[in-house]
């Protein structure tokens, strides 16, 4: 399977890997490299948000109605639950809350490889 995140230059730069892509669930992983960390050696909150936003964008794109021109994030909310240390792997699972004709709402759960919750992100995607 081609890595769907590679079509978005910033997601490719971050190193996001899409491991499964279905219309009702997107899964991905991200290695926490030093470039994605704060000075404390933990994953930057913005990197967590960008990871989730990328997975949500792919999900929204996969469920666009016929004739739509694309999608864009119009709202995003993040609950930070735990730190992700440098050199660890963060897993993301995005699922739909609601898919409509004009917008869709997605929830992404970020967790460590052993399943510890790291963040919960809810985003709204506008259909263009």
Strand bridging mode 71-80 / 117-127: antiparallel
The domain that holds 9 is classified in CATH as 3.10.129.10
pLDDT at 5 over 90: no
Interval 60-102: pLDDT, tens? 999 999 999 999 999 999 999 999 999 999 999 999 999 999 9
User: Which DSSP string corresponds to 33-62?
Assistant: -GGGB-TTSBB-HHHHHHHHHHHHHHHHHH
pTM: 0.95
Domain count, the chain: 1
- From the number of C-beta atoms within 10 Å of its C-beta (0-12, 13-18, 19+), residue 2 rates as exposed
Task: Supply the range of the domain harboring residue 121.
Answer: 4-127
């Amino acid at each position: 399977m081609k890595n769907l995140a590679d079509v978005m230059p910033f997601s490719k730069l971050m190193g996001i890997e899409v491991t499964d892509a279905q219309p009702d669930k997107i899964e991905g992983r991200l290695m926490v490299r030093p470039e994605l960390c704060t000075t404390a050696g933990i994953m930057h909150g913005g990197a967590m948000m960008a990871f989730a936003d990328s997975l949500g964008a792919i999900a929204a794109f996969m469920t666009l109605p016929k004739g739509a021109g694309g999608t864009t994030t119009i709202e995003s909310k993040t609950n930070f639950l735990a730190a992700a240390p440098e050199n660890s792997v963060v897993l993301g699972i995005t699922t739909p809350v609601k898919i409509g004709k004009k917008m869709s709402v997605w929830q992404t759960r970020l967790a460590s490889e052993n399943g510890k919750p790291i963040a919960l992100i809810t985003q709204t995607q506008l259909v263009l």
